[in-house]
Chains A and B, each alone.
Chain A
Amino acid sequence: MSTLVQETAPSTYKEGFHDDDIKARHKVPKGASHEVIDYMCDVKGEPDWMRAFRHRSLDLFLKATLPAWMPGLRDIDYDAITYYASPIDKSANKWEDVPEEIRKTYDKLGIAKEEQKMLGGLGAQIDSEMAYHNIQETLSKKGVVFLSCDEGMKQYPEIFKEHFAKSIPPEDNKFAALNSAFWSGGSFVYIPKGVKCDVPLSVYFRINAEQFGQFERTLIVCDDDSFCHYVEGCSAPVYTTNSLHAAVVEIFVKERARCRYTTIQNWSTDVYNLVTKRAFVYGKGIMEWVDGNLGSKRTVKYPSVYMLGEGAHGEVLSLASADKGMWQDAGAKMVFMAPNCTARINSKSISGHGGRASYRGLVQVNPQATNCRVQVNCDALILDASSRSDTYPVMEVDGDLVTVEHEASVSSVSDEQLFYLTSRGIKKEDAVSMIVNGFIEPIVKELPMEFAVEINRLINMQMEGSVG
């Protein structure tokens, strides 16, 4: 299962460095076992119900099979993976308290500088634990809670228990079961009624260990009439072996609240990225997923919105860029469970250097969901003949008076556009990058400025030498 680094990793991946100074304080034997779960529960001091939940989830994981359509995951060697590794003793809320060797890594990634951006809070996870977590005082005074998920369970047990695993139970799928068994880190966010959190809460995930499994778990509850924007980014060193990232993100958007969740996924090309993301949205609530997938070996991820209350709105803006050695299987699920709901899926994918991008989408309108409307748009840009793009849309409509619109397009960088731009003195590679950036502009313009710049930087690096 190991491949040569040169084959899998584009040389342009700037986040692929190793930091050997970082050592796990707690390291467990490889493999997904009940012993590892007991060890984690002891170290974390977890309540008995969680211990039981983890053991039950592991049994489900071991029994679960992969659906036949799931792409290219059969070569994952679960026994070679380490399921828990913590390079810290406790989470810090001041940078000075973060161990020096970890701070160095974050400095190289520019994470410490992130704080200077317009953020309401910042978290940073390394391997299994959150090394840093901090929130602006103005927000905490309003009652906004932004903690690691482990801390959330300890400090807000009632909110936690009411929502945890309620939208994504361990039975949902094999990787949700795996996460439920070994979850560690991730964020716990609670936005009280009526509170608008205008600046984003941001979290950065780093895998440092080799052949490692990162299973962060995020739970966001936006109470009635509130708003929050959560942004996550990630990266990993380049190894010759594979790592696993199987996160679970659960979001509850209560009445008339709005939540936007933005992902800029930039894993190295030896990471399997298998994530379950789901939002339950109540009356007139709005959920928006902005899902940017720019890295990883395989990504299997379909952020979903379950519209449970009347007049709810769901939105997925999906951006996938599949470069050499990558297969982005991304998309969205919109499930209508109540009348007068609306949803929009806008997916843009780019494949180049032999990469493959697939759009997989589900629109499900249940009988009680009358008078609903959904618009699906998916556009693919293929940069060369060795690259590939597929679309797998599924529509199941049982409700009445439902409007479903679906549009799809596949294009390449046209000779006319290249001639036009180069005839103005612009070099060919810059012209290609302009066209590609223009293609993704409708999604990128939805991002806060700093993150838009980051997406453009990553895409431009992948574009290097893509059209000959």
Chain B
Amino acid sequence: MTDSLEIIDLHAKIEEREILKGLNLTIRKGEVHAIMGPNGSGKSTLANTIAGNPKYTVTSGEIRMNGENILGMEVDERARKGLFLAFQYPCEVPGVRTSNFLRLACNARAGKELDVMEFYDKLEKKMKHLEINDAFMKRYLNEGFSGGEKKRNEILQMMMLEPEYAVMDETDSGLDIDALKIVSEGVNKLRGPNLGVLIITHYERILRYIKPDFIHILVGGKIVKSGGADLAAHLEEHGYDWITKDVTPTPVSA
């Protein structure tokens, strides 16, 4: 299907341990989906597998982006085609200036050398949205950044790269309420008919600021329940226990 990111009966493992056990999910452009689940349910594995992290192996199933199977593609190729992963733990790259990195990434995504002035104009605007100060760009990529700064940097990259599909892996973790508001506002600005979003989270908190169209509950490597925004509130109140009790023949893997 064009204009969608489809995950079809996906099985994936890390170090011989199967984590995803037949996951199905379709995200159309213009939609915001949230995946919630307890620790160890496979949330991060899903995010990493979509992006193509070589640590994870897909044993069966498919991931299709705009109708094209992306499983045979390298990480960078997926990204250039419009896939974006906001990392749970963005890593530090000493000695690489954030601005240089962003320019190279934007050039790679565009498939050409972008006009430098235009690039910096755009960057300045996006930084204002996210309340990031200028000194930030001269700093080395994520080095010595606070948790909040790292997450803001992820959203900034997302704004600059203008992906077609964005997966946000626990973007809310480690953020205080003010930072969470700023980050959420950034994501809300990006919402629109050309972007499909998958928010992966443990807590319902972020979903107060970014209202999803659909919520899915992931337990034991499978989606066990899907519903509208009200599902989050129910989870907040009752925890995950009622679901695991409700559905488990499959035990929750660690």
A residues with a Cβ closer than 8 A to B are 414-417, 419-428, 430-431, 434-435, 437-442
Contact = CB atoms under 8 A, between A and B. Distances in A.
Contacts of A424: 76, 79, 101, 105, 108-109, 157, 161
B104 A442 contact: no
Interface stretch (B63-71, B91-99, B200-208, B225-233): B91-99
Contacts of A438: 93-96, 140-141
25 contacts: A415-B55, A416-B91, A419-B54, A419-B75, A420-B93, A423-B52, A423-B75, A423-B76, A423-B84, A424-B76, A424-B105, A424-B108, A425-B76, A425-B108, A426-B76, A426-B104, A426-B105, A428-B76, A430-B108, A431-B76, A435-B93, A438-B94, A439-B94, A441-B94, A441-B95
B161 A425 contact: yes
B38 interface: no
B91 to A, nearest CB: 5
A445 to B, nearest CB: 9
Nearest to A421: B93
A428 B74 contact: yes
Contacts of B104: 426, 430, 434
Contact of A437 (B52, B96, B161): B96
B79 to A, nearest CB: 4
B91, B95, B109 — most chain A CB neighbours (10 Å): B95
Nearest to B82: A425
Given A415-B55, A426-B108, A437 B87 contact: no
Contacts of B85: 423
Given A424-B109, A427-B108, A437-B95, 8 more contacts: A416-B91, A423-B51, A425-B76, A425-B79, A425-B80, A428-B74, A428-B76, A438-B96
A414, A423, A441 — most chain B CB neighbours (10 Å): A423
A414 B101 CA distance: 17
A467 B96 CA distance: 19
A416, A424, A435 — most chain B CB neighbours (10 Å): A424
Nearest to A435: B93
Contacts of B51: 419, 423
Contacts of B161: 424-425
B54 to A, nearest CB: 7
A422 B75 contact: yes
* Contact-size category for B: 20 to 34
Contacts of B90: 420
A417 B94 CA distance: 10
Nearest to B140: A438
A436 to B, nearest CB: 9
**A-B residue pairs, 4 tightest by C-beta:** A438-B95, A441-B95, A425-B108, A424-B105
Interface in B117-133: none
Given A420-B91, A425-B80, A441 B75 contact: no
B146 interface: no
Contact of B96 (A415, A427, A428, A441): A441
B248 interface: no
Nearest to B52: A423
Contacts of B101: 421, 424, 434
A229 to B, nearest CB: 23
A416, A420, A430, A435 — most chain B CB neighbours (10 Å): A420
B53 interface: yes
B89 to A, nearest CB: 8
Contacts of A425: 76, 79-80, 105, 108-109, 161
A417 B89 CA distance: 11
A415 B55 CA distance: 9
Nearest to A424: B105
B54 A415 contact: yes
B141 to A, nearest CB: 8
B214 to A, nearest CB: 25
Interface in B179-223: none
Interface string B41-78: 00000000001111100000000000000000011100
Contacts of B54: 415, 419
Contact of B93 (A417, A423, A440, A442): A417
Nearest to A439: B95
Given A419-B53, A420-B87, A427 B76 contact: yes
A11 B214 CA distance: 56
B52, B87, B104 — most chain A CB neighbours (10 Å): B104
Contact of B79 (A423, A439, A440): A423
Contacts of A435: 93, 96
B96 A434 contact: yes
Contacts of B93: 417, 420-421, 434-435, 438
Contacts of A422: 74-76, 79
Nearest to B79: A425
A423 B161 CA distance: 11
Nearest to A434: B96
Contacts of B84: 423
A422 B96 CA distance: 14
A431 B75 CA distance: 12
A416 B54 CA distance: 10
A414 B89 CA distance: 14
Contacts of A416: 91
Contacts of A417: 91, 93
A441 B105 CA distance: 19
B86 to A, nearest CB: 10
Contacts of A420: 87, 90-91, 93
Nearest to B104: A426
A117 B75 CA distance: 41
Nearest to B109: A425
A439 B93 CA distance: 9
Nearest to A440: B95
Nearest to B110: A425
A437 B76 CA distance: 20
A180 B35 CA distance: 75
B140 to A, nearest CB: 7
Interface string B155-176: 0010001000000000000000
Nearest to A426: B108
A414 B161 CA distance: 24
A423 B56 CA distance: 14
A437 B140 CA distance: 12
